Amino acid sequence: MPTKYLLDESQMPTAWYNIQADLPEPLPPVLHPGTHQPVTASDLEPLFTPALIEQEMTTEREVEIPEPVREIYKLWRPAPLYRAYGLEKALGTPAKIYYKYEGVSPAGSHKPNSAIPQAFYNKEAGIKRLTTETGAGQWGTSLSFAGAHFDLDVTVFQVSVSYQQKPYRRAVMETYGAKCVASPSELTEFGRQVLAETPDHTGSLGIAISEAVELAVKDPDTKYALGSVLNHVLLHQSIIGLESMQQMEMAGDWPDVIVGCTGGGSNFAGIAFPFIGQALRGGQKSRVVAVEPSACPSLTRGKYAYDYGDTAHMTPLTKMHTLGAHFTPPGFHAGGLRYHGMAPLVSHIKELGLFDAVAYTQKQCFEAGVIFARAEGIVPAPEANHAVKGAIEEALRCKREGKEEVILFNLCGHGHFDMAAYTAYFAGQLSDHEYSEEELAMALSGLPSL
Amino acid sequence: MPTKYLLDESQMPTAWYNIQADLPEPLPPVLHPGTHQPVTASDLEPLFTPALIEQEMTTEREVEIPEPVREIYKLWRPAPLYRAYGLEKALGTPAKIYYKYEGVSPAGSHKPNSAIPQAFYNKEAGIKRLTTETGAGQWGTSLSFAGAHFDLDVTVFQVSVSYQQKPYRRAVMETYGAKCVASPSELTEFGRQVLAETPDHTGSLGIAISEAVELAVKDPDTKYALGSVLNHVLLHQSIIGLESMQQMEMAGDWPDVIVGCTGGGSNFAGIAFPFIGQALRGGQKSRVVAVEPSACPSLTRGKYAYDYGDTAHMTPLTKMHTLGAHFTPPGFHAGGLRYHGMAPLVSHIKELGLFDAVAYTQKQCFEAGVIFARAEGIVPAPEANHAVKGAIEEALRCKREGKEEVILFNLCGHGHFDMAAYTAYFAGQLSDHEYSEEELAMALSGLPSL
């Protein structure tokens, strides 16, 4: 039996899948931050090009992947699907474990799946520059890579604490020719305002988003790019699940359980939505599990409510599972999962009861990641360790119950730029934070009243 | 046309290729460090298991790859061959550029191709522990990964300056469960002796080899593993070229020029020897180019002579291109190319006139690496940048001459753990060192007289 299932480039999907076509209830509308009325396409034009706005709003089931995007996808796609023989053996489980590996992209994660089309549509529209934010750096790296391909200037606002702590991610962005700035910065009014109040502010994703948005709004040649949360980002990531479906068929198996980790929701949606959609259309149903960090528990302990995406309240209001736009999670190492909100589509589908969510602490997740690395060779990113932990828990349940279930999870990235976190884990320096009800209630008290 | 050429797992070679079977003149003998007589298999037994000694000495053309090794190879092999459309476009060359990418292995380079079989044969022989040395950390990581798979304890002596400067490579080794020690260390007599003389010694590969060898010699349950230079290591790496031949056939092209970088010689031999061997047997001849750093120019400016592999003179004497066992190259960033000697087989084949060698400075090589990263997405390791530079020079020559030649090079690893070097390059902090004839003559004056 093969260890990995590879698709030929000719088998790469030619269209992304949009789950909005198959939902029993439509997504609640996005609201304008000023008027609180549903946004129109023109409201979004200062931020995004028309092609991406159309993708944000469409309910068509299939959206064609442009040929130039497919050409660049081929640098790493189709991505491999592995049978985790080593992990199965290490756990002694009767379950069959498969994982889709998105760490083969040049940026090391699933993020280029959306960065490439976002850069492409902006280039097509004559845009000269993209702005974005990044935390740990996965998304900033990916957009920098995409910018190099489509000859766009890219300015990345990196959360200051990460900018200082992770110089190597920044070095990758600069290698691709992007400009990486510590946020809060002197480049924007909002950044200067934050620095005037707190000169040594360590930054947050919410502030970095506000800065990136501000620059885009001010210059017609500049647009904003977001790496998760939005419908069009989730659409682009559907290629993960679409390929996985073909590969599971090659393997002659079908997942009983699908596991993904959730921060903003894009890699989880990428693997899960094509399967959920097929089940909604009458196909075989898989149980789907989202795994999030206990220290940023938007799906398991957040409120499903309208909230802002950023700190300066410049973004539209979306209905989502949120911990409040001013919620600042502790500095745990899965930087990609430290966002206060959840993708509106993921949140809506959670409310429809189409998947379960669980939360684990970072120590539990690193323990799982080390087991995985020793058994399978790949050192997962701290974010991906949450999916690994979820899959291991399912495999151990199968062992207890004597069930030969098929488990599929998304290994969304490698941990090459996160080894300091592993060092801290081995040195016993990681701490876990579980929020009290009072702490979460306080964070949520700032939600906008509509 | 495809961007990458993938082989199915069933197409992975079942035997390694040994160029010794096709050489017009046999390799000069290896000499015992004490007697200066040709070594016998039993002389090598304190260091290596019989299966590896047999591979070191055999002149059989094919050596079967054991099934358990093939199973683990499948975690990343067959490795992809890319057509570098982006680089061709960036250079405006009529040449067709292909590269074999070995960075897809869990350790990020070609090194596991030999680490896995070395661990396998030791496990088969009942060995409990392996010792080795590492500079930048590629080899140490690979042997740690192999040790995790075959349940062997691995102790890695890492050159002290790298141990301090590159904590992330060490973190990967520890994630795989290995013990990583700064060399010189207190664990060995030789290490203690060096530290007694120079308490803040920053170490060297030669010293680290001496320490690893000392531990292996003292304990019958412990053997030594080397990541390059030796015949059996080059044998294991032949899978790179064997796969590339199949993939070039898939592409419907055959290389006019083959380029690889050389430190100890293993990745270069891996891609080049199967092609050179086929030409020696009457097949189509490719021009082969080895690229080495100007600051450690063993092939272009070293002497072809018998020398030791380590500082304490514990290893056998081999005839090779050497800069002298006490040569200490400056601290340039391609740590994997900072060895004073060249693989005896590579040296011998150079003397037979079967390939050319050129040297470039590290600034030239980083400049090439950045061009490659922006065009192709992958950020190469500093070592691999030498091959990139060599390939770009060939492509530019084709442009000047208006020739549509086919260029193949080995991209032996990614640079994820070397981003500090890119940062230094962008900051203008890299310096180049060209040795004077006097400096090299002085280093060579310590060669053993036989």
The minimal CB distance from A106 to the residues B105, B171, B377 is found for B377
B79 touches chain A (CB under 8 A): no
At residue A314, does pLDDT exceed 90? no
Residue A369 has a pLDDT of 98
Token pair for A326: 């001013």
How many whole angstroms separate alpha carbon B44 and alpha carbon B50?
9
At residue A52, does pLDDT exceed 80? yes
The minimal CB distance from A171 to the residues B2, B177, B423 is found for B423
The minimal CB distance from B167 to the residues A149, A417, A423 is found for A423
Residue A387 has a pLDDT of 98
* pLDDT tens digits along A124-157: 999 999 999 998 899 999 999 999 999 999 999 9
- pLDDT band with cut points at 50, 70 and 90 for residue B83: very high
What residue of A is the nearest CA neighbor of B8? A6
What residue of B is the nearest CA neighbor of A423? B171
- pLDDT band with cut points at 50, 70 and 90 for residue A334: confident
- What is the DSSP-derived secondary structure letter of residue A307? E
Residues of chain B found within 8 Å of residue A176, distances taken between Cβ atoms? 373-374
Cβ distance of A106 and B379 shorter than 8 Å: yes
Q: Is B428 left (phi over 0), alpha (psi -120 to 50) or beta?
A: left
B423 touches chain A (CB under 8 A): yes
Q: Is A324 left (phi over 0), alpha (psi -120 to 50) or beta?
A: left
Helix (H) or strand (E) holding B89: helix B85-91
Cβ distance of B379 and A423 shorter than 8 Å: no
A68 touches chain B (CB under 8 A): no
Residues of chain A found within 8 Å of residue B9, distances taken between Cβ atoms? 2-4
At residue A161, does pLDDT exceed 90? no
B106 touches chain A (CB under 8 A): yes
- pLDDT band with cut points at 50, 70 and 90 for residue A17: very high
How many whole angstroms separate alpha carbon B353 and alpha carbon B96?
26
At residue A236, does pLDDT exceed 90? yes
Residues of chain A found within 8 Å of residue B82, distances taken between Cβ atoms? 75
- Which residues, including other chains, have CB under 8 Å from residue A437's CB and lie 6 or more apart? none
Question: What phi and psi, each to the nearest 5 degrees, are found at residue A428?
Answer: 70, 25
Residues of chain A found within 8 Å of residue B172, distances taken between Cβ atoms? 379, 419, 422
Q: Is B15 left (phi over 0), alpha (psi -120 to 50) or beta?
A: beta
- pLDDT band with cut points at 50, 70 and 90 for residue A332: confident
The minimal CB distance from B416 to the residues A170, A177, A416 is found for A416
A59 touches chain B (CB under 8 A): no
Residues of chain B found within 8 Å of residue A107, distances taken between Cβ atoms? 377
Cβ distance of B419 and A104 shorter than 8 Å: no
* pLDDT tens digits along B358-390: 999 999 999 999 999 999 999 999 999 999 999
- What is the DSSP-derived secondary structure letter of residue B380? B
For residue B413, the distance in angstroms to the closest alpha carbon of chain A comes to 12
Which of B151, B163, B416 to substitute to test the interface with A, most A CBs within 10 Å?
A: B416
- pLDDT band with cut points at 50, 70 and 90 for residue B413: very high
Token pair for A111: 């993020």
What residue of B is the nearest CA neighbor of A374? B176
Highest-confidence segment of A132-136, A311-315, B100-104: B100-104
Rounded to two decimals, the pTM is 0.96
Residues of chain B found within 8 Å of residue A423, distances taken between Cβ atoms? 167-168, 170-171, 174
Residue B30 has a pLDDT of 95
Mean pLDDT on A170-198 = 96
Q: Which of B341, B380, B154 is nearest to B230 (CA)?
A: B341
A12 touches chain B (CB under 8 A): no
For residue B342, the distance in angstroms to the closest alpha carbon of chain A comes to 30
At residue B332, does pLDDT exceed 80? no
Length in residues, chain B: 450
The ipTM of this complex is 0.95
At residue A331, does pLDDT exceed 80? no
For residue A256, the distance in angstroms to the closest alpha carbon of chain B comes to 24
Burial of A426: CB neighbours in 10 Å, binned 0-12, 13-18, 19+: middle
Which of A72, A379, A388 to substitute to test the interface with B, most B CBs within 10 Å?
A: A379
- Which residues, including other chains, have CB under 8 Å from residue A217's CB and lie 6 or more apart? A46, A47, A224, A314
How many whole angstroms separate alpha carbon A111 and alpha carbon A144?
11
A152 touches chain B (CB under 8 A): no
Q: Cis omega before residue A184 (within 30°)? A: yes
Residues of chain A found within 8 Å of residue B174, distances taken between Cβ atoms? 422-423, 426
Residue A296 has a pLDDT of 92
At residue B427, does pLDDT exceed 90? yes
Q: Which residue has the tokens 């060779």?
A: A377
Residue A446 has a pLDDT of 84
At residue B10, does pLDDT exceed 80? yes
Mean pLDDT of all residues belonging to chain B: 95
For residue B287, the distance in angstroms to the closest alpha carbon of chain A comes to 28
Residue A325 has a pLDDT of 84
Question: What phi and psi, each to the nearest 5 degrees, are found at residue A406?
Answer: -100, 120
At residue B334, does pLDDT exceed 80? no
C-beta separation of B410 from B270 below 8 A: yes
For residue B75, the distance in angstroms to the closest alpha carbon of chain A comes to 7
- Residue/partner pairs of B201-204 with CB below 8 Å, 24 or more apart: B201/B160, B202/B159, B202/B160, B202/B161, B203/B158, B203/B159, B203/B160, B203/B161, B203/B162, B203/B163, B204/B159, B204/B311, B204/B328
What residue of B is the nearest CA neighbor of A422? B171
C-beta separation of A273 from A258 below 8 A: no
What residue of B is the nearest CA neighbor of A75? B3
Residue A311 has a pLDDT of 82
B151 touches chain A (CB under 8 A): no
* pLDDT tens digits along B337-360: 888 899 999 999 999 999 999 999
Domains of chain A with CATH codes: 67-108+231-444 (3.40.50.1100)
Question: What phi and psi, each to the nearest 5 degrees, are found at residue A262?
Answer: -130, 130
Mean pLDDT on B189-217 = 93
Q: Which of A343, A282, A274 is nearest to A13 (CA)?
A: A274
User: DSSP for B321-366?
Assistant: EES-TT------S-GGG--SB--HHHHHHHHTT--EEEEE-HHHHH
Type of residue numbered A118: Q
* B window 241-270, beta carbon within 8 A of A: none
Cβ distance of A419 and B374 shorter than 8 Å: no
Mean pLDDT of all residues belonging to chain A: 95
- pLDDT band with cut points at 50, 70 and 90 for residue B205: confident
Residues of chain A found within 8 Å of residue B378, distances taken between Cβ atoms? 75, 106
Q: Cis omega before residue A38 (within 30°)? A: no
Helix (H) or strand (E) holding A97: strand A96-101
* pLDDT tens digits along A252-281: 999 999 999 999 999 999 999 999 999 999
B416 touches chain A (CB under 8 A): yes
